[in-house]
Amino acid sequence: MTAFAFVFPGQGSQSMGMLNAWGDHPAVRATLAEASDALGEDIARLIAEGPKEALDLTTNTQPVMLTAGVACWRAWLADTGLMPAAVAGHSLGEYAALVAAGALTLKDALPLVRFRAQAMQEAVPVGAGGMAAILGMDAEGVKAGCAEAAALTGEAVEAVNFNDPKQTVIAGTKAAVEKACEVLKAAGAKRALPLPVSAPFHSSLMKPAAERLKEKLAATAFAVPSIAVINNIDVVVAADPDAIRDALYRQAFGPVRWVESVQALKGRGLTHVIECGPGKVLSGMVKRIDAELVTGCVLDPTSLTEVKALLA
């Protein structure tokens, strides 16, 4: 059996009906029931029927994406019994990775991520912050452009998601992000695309949210993971529960180092990186980071069968 890693997507990969293809798969059905019990609402119905506006609310998107990622993971385990050698998750996806690794129960993770979403939303007034994807420029160039825009505006703007070698997401105040987009396009970026998000995630402006999250993390039970989890903020495997809590706290206002995370998976001798959960966003990123890595997705029964054959 090929040694492989699983990676879990975060906010932005959600869509109405994203688990419908699983039908009445017992593992998926049980996960949806568990999520509904944990949050006191019909999560299965929200995922299946939306409406899209409700699904895209940060306070719903984060628990819904966590549920979907874990549902696909449990379906994989139920059908194959095959365990990855390591896991990682992009931003919110790190919580799904921790559930998969047994460091956190889904029952505890769901209210935690809903609280995280609420704290992030409340940290900066709607419309006061922003994010943009910068395409066609390396990370160092993006960081330099952000520093210039911050100096020109006197406001915060930072590189926050290092998604692939030529795609970096920036976040900060609305004015500073707009100025950074101007500066970066003038400096040679191919595109600067404002993102339809409600807060400047992973920027220093999220520090107040992180402080609130820190208290919630302290009150949440964590265990030593049974699978290596490479975290976003330090690109290391943290096994101690307090170290995991601290990494999640700092992740809320620190960058997602995805390029380095994927390189770290390869550095562990893993040749196959499988995206687990709705969408194929991470698979594309992985290929752009390292074309030698073999990718696949577990998002429905058909793709699960394909990945099982891929790893045989």
Q: Which two tokens stand for residue 284?
A: 């594309």
Within 10 Å of residue 166's Cβ, how many Cβ atoms? 16
Q: One of 13, 91, 198, 283 is an active-site residue; which one?
A: 91
DSSP state of 84: P
294 and 273 Cβ atoms separated by less than 8 Å: yes
CA–centroid distance for 308 within its chain: 24
What stretches of the chain adopt beta strand conformation (E)? 4-8, 86-89, 129-135, 157-164, 167-173, 191-194, 228-230, 272-276, 294-298
- What is the spatial distance between Cα 271 and Cα 175, in angstroms, rounded to a whole number? 42
Answer positive or negative: Cα dihedral of 225, 228, 233, 239: positive
Active site residue 91: yes
Q: What is the longest distance spanned by two Cα atoms in the chain?
A: 56
27 and 68 Cβ atoms separated by less than 8 Å: no
Q: One of 25, 202, 283, 303 is an active-site residue; which one?
A: 202
Answer positive or negative: Cα dihedral of 131, 60, 8, 216: positive
168 and 145 Cβ atoms separated by less than 8 Å: no
DSSP state of 294: E
CA–centroid distance for 69 within its chain: 10
Report strand pairing: 129-135 vs 86-89: unpaired
Active site residue 13: no
Point out the residues that are catalytic: 91, 202
